[in-house]
Amino acid sequence: MSFLDELSDSIVNTTKDLGKMAQNAGDLTKLQYDKKVKESELSKLYEKLGQKYYEEHKDEDDEEIKEITAAILRIKEISEEIMQKKGGKACPKCGALVKDGSKFCSACGEKIDDIFEE
Ligand SMILES: [Zn+2]
């Protein structure tokens, strides 16, 4: 085999190898993406199951249940603080911001009588 033939073979083989590497990299990227999608779906399922479990067991004397209850209460407090800073309160029906003194919620139309009487 002449030098040029060998060089030509070598180039062809290198090109084939690069093609295979690119395909492998593509397959790997797709597999990693599929794995992330499945992991995300699993997390959402766990979250849904966790919420269902919490609703059914929220009165039980369990450390994690108590932590979740505390987190929910804290989030509620923070939300109220945010609404106050924005100059209103949360609509009791839909949670949207109702500006101080409003008679109705502009988001859902709920009549607002009592939330500003304090
Ligand atoms: Zn509302």
**DSSP states of 62-103:** -HHHHHHHHHHHHHHHHHHHHHHHTTEEE-TTT--EEETT-S
Phi and psi for 54 in degrees, rounded to 5? -60, -45
pLDDT at 51: 96
The rounded Å distance from CA 100 to ligand 1 centre is: 14
The rounded Å distance from CA 78 to ligand 1 centre is: 19
Provide the CB-side half-sphere exposure for 84 (13 A, CA): 6
Q: Are 90 and 96 in contact (CB under 8 A)?
A: yes
pLDDT at 115: 61
pLDDT at 25: 87
Using alpha carbons only, how large is the chain's radius of gyration in Å? 30
The rounded Å distance from CA 94 to ligand 1 centre is: 4
Q: Are 112 and 102 in contact (CB under 8 A)?
A: yes
The rounded Å distance from CA 107 to ligand 1 centre is: 5
The rounded Å distance from CA 3 to ligand 1 centre is: 82
Phi and psi for 51 in degrees, rounded to 5? -65, -40
Residue-wise pLDDT tens digits, 2-56? 888 998 999 888 889 998 988 888 899 999 999 999 999 999 999 999 999 999 9
| 116 confidence band (pLDDT: 50, 70, 90) | low
**Whether residue 68 has pLDDT greater than 90:** yes
